[in-house]
Amino acid sequence: MIPRPLILRNLKQSRAIIAVYLTVCFFILPVNTIFTLSRWDHMQESGVDFHVASHNVNEVLAGGSGSNILTTLLLVVLVISLGIAFTGAERNSGRMSCQLAWPYTRSQHYWSKYLIGVLVIGLGYSVFYGFSYVLVLTSEYAWVLESLHLIETLVWPVTGLVSLFALSFFIGVITGEAVTQAVLCFVFFWLPEGAQVLLRTFFAVHTSVVEGVQSYQITVATSQFLQWFQWMSLISPPASSAGIFWTAFSFIIVTAVVGSWLFKHNPIELNGEFLAIKRLWPLFSISIILCFAMFGGWLFEGASTLNESGMTVLIIYWLGAIGGLGLGWWIVNKLKAMSVGIASK
């Protein structure tokens, strides 16, 4: 059971982000629906074939986010910011150290924050979705709801938003301060797209020097795997799939459980450092160095304008990779020495 004081405290410190999130949901769902119904009235009065326009009902009840990238990005920023407010911002301000001195277990602290975030994001979106549904249902265009796909327009967007909150919250558990958390959220958010580009170049360069080997099949298989992690597409139906949904849903469950265990063993004295879980340093160090090496290779290969042979391109790629590897090694050492001033220290 989650104590009432923890619920009130967490709601109080995140009330501004919650208010903005609910306001955005209000505008992209009920308000957008009202304007759409008005536009449909105008189309009928103008003699436009309304049967064609009615197919937009799925987009309308998905908040119109599928046709507005700014709306989608705003929702993404808000749910990620909510995760930062519950974790990284508390570390920086020293509130987390104070809260953990309260007579409650760390599990209660963890789940009070996590469940508030999930419920606000899920219920807030669902309630305004319901308002939009009722607006259409009580209008003269209720018949268009026959073509509505509830799973794609409600379950998928809510899962996508919650998965991004889970990502932000989990990163906040393993990192030591808010700026690091925000940067890593940005990195992991774009990681599937970035990884596709880096791996495509890596396979193309290395298979070009081997006769009879084509990089196309490897690239396609890699892209199909990485697209399951493009959870932003869940917020923009129908540009998504059941595979992406189940990947996001599994991520939510796994990170919630693992994050709870890590939070219970998270030493407060590491607040302000890059990682609050020292055992993760080897994994992060290798990942950072590898990513910078591949980025350097991609950069050098892309900057090459001559029509070189396969072996020449390979050499150019590895010159960039070695430079990126050195840069990654330097950054890792700087991050290990990083320490941000914390109010409680």
The tens digit of pLDDT for each residue in 192-246 reads 888 888 888 888 887 765 555 555 566 666 666 777 777 667 776 555 577 888 8
State whether residue 176 is helix, strand or coil.
coil
**Half-sphere exposure (CA, 13 Å, Cβ side) for 134?**
7
Q: Which of 94, 273, 282 is nearest to 175 (CA)?
A: 273
Spatial contact of 219 and 200, defined as CB atoms under 8 Å apart: yes
pLDDT for 301 equals 83
Instruction: Name the CA dihedral angle for 59, 61, 63, 68, rounded to a multiple of 10 degrees.
Output: 10
Tell me which of 128-137, 228-237, 289-298 is least confident.
Answer: 228-237
List the structure tokens of 103.
């007579």
Band of pLDDT at residue 309, cut at 50, 70 and 90: low
Band of pLDDT at residue 4, cut at 50, 70 and 90: confident
Task: Quote the CA–CA distance of 229 and 232 in Å, as a whole number.
Answer: 9
Mean pLDDT in residue range 106-116: 91
HEC profile for 215-277? HHHHHHHHHHHHHHHCHHHHHCCCCCCHHHHHHHHHHHHHHHHHHHHHHHCCCHHHCCCCECC
Instruction: Name the CA dihedral angle for 106, 172, 112, 150, rounded to a multiple of 10 degrees.
Output: -140
Task: Quote the CA–CA distance of 300 and 318 in Å, as a whole number.
Answer: 8
State whether residue 138 is helix, strand or coil.
coil
Kindly report the CA angle at 59 between 58 and 63, in degrees rounded to 5? 115
Helix axes 178-207, 215-226, angle to 10 degrees: 160
Using the 8-state DSSP alphabet, how is residue 175 labeled? B
Q: Which residues contact 49 (CB under 8 A, 6 or more apart)?
A: none
pTM, whole model, 2 decimals?
Answer: 0.86
Mean pLDDT in residue range 96-119: 86
Place of tokens 């396979």: 203
Spatial contact of 129 and 29, defined as CB atoms under 8 Å apart: yes
Question: How remote is the C-alpha of 101 from its chain's centroid?
Answer: 31
Entry field: residues in the chain? 345
Mean pLDDT in residue range 129-156: 86
State whether residue 23 is helix, strand or coil.
helix
Task: Quote the CA–CA distance of 249 and 164 in Å, as a whole number.
Answer: 11
pLDDT for 32 equals 86
Q: Which residues contact 204 (CB under 8 A, 6 or more apart)?
A: 215, 219
Tell me which of 61-70, 113-122, 172-181, 271-280 is least confident.
Answer: 61-70
Place of tokens 């990005």: 73
Task: Quote the CA–CA distance of 342 and 94 in Å, as a whole number.
Answer: 6
pLDDT for 73 equals 85
Q: Which of 90, 81, 263, 53 is nearest to 182 (CA)?
A: 81
- Is the per-residue pLDDT at 177 higher than 60? yes
